[in-house]
């Protein structure tokens, strides 16, 4: 799905960069043409600075989104999430980062979750990067307690997993 959204900006590399940022961050486009996160407006100049384009490119991208009904519907309904990976250790949680062999393959999250659940460890959050939006997609799992080394080894032996990192 995201691939199709990004492809609508195929001949417009600067606008494509803006769209990729909006998708990556879960930013919405309001009917009034504002880029927002919830009810907080994000100035077009800040978005332009982040992706290295002129502010007018952001304005044209937003206008294009509002002019294409399927894009408008998608971007009006985007939502950002609170991603706990960087604060998990401060909260007493552990972080497992799985680098998949092929992020487009089915069942990676299910296999990893099954291995973790068999150990009686609760998953507080699981966030999977979209392989169409991220160059090096990862699966990040936040657990409620420490991860034993043999569990990391077991996850690493799954056929869908290239390698595993732990952050406690």
The segments of the chain whose pLDDT lies below 50 read: none
pLDDT of residue 168: 65
pLDDT of residue 130: 83
pLDDT of residue 1: 57
Classify residue 42 as exposed, middle or buried by CB count within 10 Å of its CB (0-12, 13-18, 19+).
Answer: middle
Global pTM value:
0.79
Query: Residue 28: helix, strand or coil by DSSP?
Result: strand
* Structural domains for the chain: 2-76 (no CATH), 88-167 (3.30.70.260)
Compute how many other C-beta atoms are within 10 angstroms of the C-beta atom of residue 32: 9
Question: 27-69, pLDDT tens digit by residue?
Answer: 999 999 999 998 899 999 999 999 999 999 999 999 999 999 9
Which residue matches tokens 């732990």? 166
The C-alpha angle with vertex 134 and arms to 39 and 147, in degrees rounded to 5, equals: 90
pLDDT of residue 73: 95
Q: What's the CA gap between 31 and 33, in Å, rounded?
A: 5
pLDDT of residue 7: 77
């Amino acid at each position: 799905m995201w691939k199709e959204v990004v492809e609508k900006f195929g001949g417009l590399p600067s606008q494509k960069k803006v769209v990729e940022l909006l998708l990556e961050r879960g930013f919405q486009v309001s009917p009034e043409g504002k880029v927002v996160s919830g009810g907080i407006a994000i100035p077009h100049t800040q978005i332009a600075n982040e992706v290295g384009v002129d502010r007018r490119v952001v304005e044209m991208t937003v206008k294009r989104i509002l002019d294409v009904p399927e894009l408008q519907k998608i971007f009006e309904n985007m939502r950002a999430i609170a991603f706990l990976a960087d604060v998990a250790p401060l909260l007493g949680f552990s972080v497992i980062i799985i680098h998949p062999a092929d992020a487009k393959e089915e069942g990676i999250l299910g296999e990893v979750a099954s291995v973790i659940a068999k150990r009686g460890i609760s998953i507080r959050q699981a966030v999977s990067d979209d392989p169409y939006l991220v160059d090096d997609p990862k699966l990040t799992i936040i657990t409620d307690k420490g991860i034993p080394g043999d569990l990391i080894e077991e996850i690493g032996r799954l056929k869908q997993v290239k390698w595993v990192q732990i952050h406690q």
